[in-house]
Structure formats: structure tokens, C-alpha cells
Structure 1
């Protein structure tokens, strides 16, 4: 996922997501069980944005070949499995144009696949460069006035509602992400925003039919 001279550098957005998580976690007074080696949310594929893919590639480029190669190999193997089930992805891995229920079906069907960057000890091989979803995962979410834990581990701890300020900040973060994506689309003359997680770990050229 190479950048162009006119492409936006998404690093500030990723740092903002990191900062939001830390503020939200602090506001919940130690009730979030996330920690090093806890990887409940690191299993299962999900859509990531092209911005996430750019950041993942930055992370892989900073690794030695010995560390990066196994991650990329796992991603390629997962892509083969997914494309066997959904051949249309071979010619166009972008999820734009796919029905939401079909994407949900993909995510559920391959919920057993660990993230390619997940190490045997439960740590992340590209942690400083993980997607925005990964950076904000763990904070309880609210739907129709009901607070839900972010993962199965959180069913064992009290769930507290975020403050209105932090919820507004989360909305603003999503708006900034959408803005960065719109700029990236113009820079790359592409209308594609999302791909499945494993595709973010392979070089951009492998995604071009």
C-alpha cells in the first residue's frame, strides 16, 4: 500500500485513536481487562480501511524479513481460504459493492482465523501500527441506551457507560477518519475504502488484478 506525494499521512489519526482509548479507559476506572497477551479480540477477520492497510504496511516495512515473512505468509494463506469461498474477491478484494449481509456472513464464516500478526504468546507483531479498530477495541459500546461489553472477556466485569464527551469524541474521530479516506480516494483515483483484514498484510501489487 504505497502512498503518493498527494496522499494524506494518516499517522495523526492513529495517534488520536490511541489517545481516545487511553482517556476512555481511564474514565472507566480500571474496569477494562485488556492487557498484554489478552487476545480475545484478535481472532476473526473484519473489514479494515485503506488507511489501516497503509499503516500495516508501514509496520511490516519496519520489521526484519525474519519477522515480517511469517506474518505475510499467514495472510496469504488466509486470503487463499477466503477467496476459495468467495471467488469474486480474487479479481476485486475491495468490499465496496458487497451487500452488508454478505460481509457479515464472511466475518462469521471465518471468525476462527487469527489475525496474521498474532504471535503465539498472544502479542501483536505490528502493535505500534495496528488498525484503528484494534486501537479502540475494548471500550464498551452503547446501542439503544444499552451498554455492551466489547468482547466475551468483558461479560465478567461491570460495564460502565462512557461519558457524553467521550462518545462525542468517538464520533469526531469517525468523522476525521472519513475525511482522510475521502482525501485518499481522490489521491489514488479509487472509490474503494475497505478490504478484509488479511489483504492489508500483502503488498499493494498483489491486490491489483
Structure 2
């Protein structure tokens, strides 16, 4: 039986609408500081992970738009290449952390990593723009995560000046709650599933079937 996530997708879309509204308000207040424009793809090379609900949502919309054919195959190929590159970067950062590297320095290094999003076409436009993750939607205005401020390096927001700032921690909490309620609704056997974060590339190529979602009873040892 195919699972129906429409209730949780609606909750996610409501949050997306709030996020877009916040971005637009900041853009109206500080239009001189925001440099976002068609063809700008700085945010499309940033390395970040998305929550379970976002991953399920973009996977669903991707398969709706590209159910089969050459276009889907090309995007999946790009997603596989990007995912391998991301894995290598993360593996190296993990090794560095095991050697005692400063966690803050590792996070800063991760933030500087540049990997092309598989949804970015040859014209530097997003193939799934209207369904892009929340991180993409907020890129370009000041944000705060873990007590540290961030903004696009191409923007004109001046360091040290007070600007309206979006708390990404608060947004992630809300995404986490939606993911948790979704997992409770489907009665997943995987307690860790609501806290799983993956890159967009992984979300595109993952088969979110019963096995992945933990709907099948775990196999007993020796069987």
C-alpha cells in the first residue's frame, strides 16, 4: 500500500510559506543588501543537509516532475556524482575530527565546501525551484544557527550592523517535529529515522520504500 504523506507535506508547505514571507519582508526592508537574482547560483554550491520531511517532499516532487526518461536519468547521474563527492568531504572531516581538530574549524571548513547541486541546470537555474529546500529559500538574508550569524558572501549586509535575523535552529526544530509526527503516524520501527539528515543529492536518489522507512519487522539473526 502506498503511503500518503499529504498531511505532513501540507504542514511543511505551510512552514515554507512562512519562510518565504520572512525572506520577502527582509528583502523589502534591505533591498540594497540582497543580491539574489536569476542566474546567481552561489547557494547552489553550498554543502548542507535537509530533514526527513524535506527529503521526502523533494523526492516526491522530483518523481512527479521527472517520472522517467533521459531528464530523470541525467539528474540522477549528477546526484550520484555529487553524493560521492559529499561523502569524500565528510569522511575527511570525520578523520580530522578523530585526530583532534577543532570542531568549530571543521564546521567552518564544511561551510566553505563547494559542490554543484544536481538540480542546477546549464543556465544556472534550479530545475525544482518552487520546491527547493528551506535553506535555499533563506540564503541571501542574515541567519543564525548555534549562536553564530551567517549570510551570503555576495550580499551587502555589513558585519556588526543589526539586521533582522532568522533563527535556523527554530526552523529545524519545527522540521524535526513534523518528521517525528510523520514517523509516529506510519509506525516506523526506526527510532532514529526522524533525526536523519541527508544532502539533496541523496534525497533525489533514495528509494523511500517500506524497508527504508522501517515499516517491515526487523529480520531476526540467523534468518
Kindly provide the CA deviation profile for residues 168-193 of structure 1, in whole angstroms up to 9, marking residues without a partner as x.
7x776444323212212323424233
- Which residue among 33, 36, 59 is the counterpart of 1:34? 36
Report the Cα distance in structure 1 between the residues aligned to 2:146 and 2:174, rounded to whole angstroms: 24
> Structure 1 length as normaliser, TM-score?
0.71
Cα displacement (A) at 1:26: 1.4
Q: Work out whether residues 55 and 131 of structure 1, in 8 Å CA contact, stay in contact via their aligned partners in 2.
A: no
1:67 aligns with 2:71: yes
| Equivalent pairs, count | 189
Report the Cα distance in structure 2 between the residues aligned to 1:201 and 1:63, rounded to whole angstroms: 12
Greater relative contact order (CA < 8 Å, ≥ 6 in sequence): 1
Q: What corresponds to 2:117 in structure 1? A: 115
Cα displacement (A) at 1:67: 3.0
Kindly provide the CA deviation profile for residues 53-83 of structure 1, in whole angstroms up to 9, marking residues without a partner as x.
1221133123243433221211112333445
Residue segments in structure 2 that go unaligned for 5+ positions in a row? 92-101, 213-223
1:195 aligns with 2:214: no
Q: What corresponds to 1:180 in structure 2? A: 178
Cα pair distance change 1:22/1:199, threshold 3 Å: same
Q: What corresponds to 1:94 in structure 2? A: none
Report the Cα distance in structure 2 between the residues aligned to 1:109 and 1:25, rounded to whole angstroms: 23
Say what the alpha-carbon RMSD is for the aligned residues.
3.8
> Structure 2 length as normaliser, TM-score?
0.67
Report the Cα distance in structure 1 between the residues aligned to 2:110 and 2:183, rounded to whole angstroms: 28
Q: What corresponds to 1:151 in structure 2? A: 152
Q: Work out whether residues 82 and 117 of structure 2, in 8 Å CA contact, stay in contact via their aligned partners in 1.
A: no
Report the Cα distance in structure 2 between the residues aligned to 1:127 and 1:145, rounded to whole angstroms: 29
139-148 vs 47-56, which deviates more? 139-148
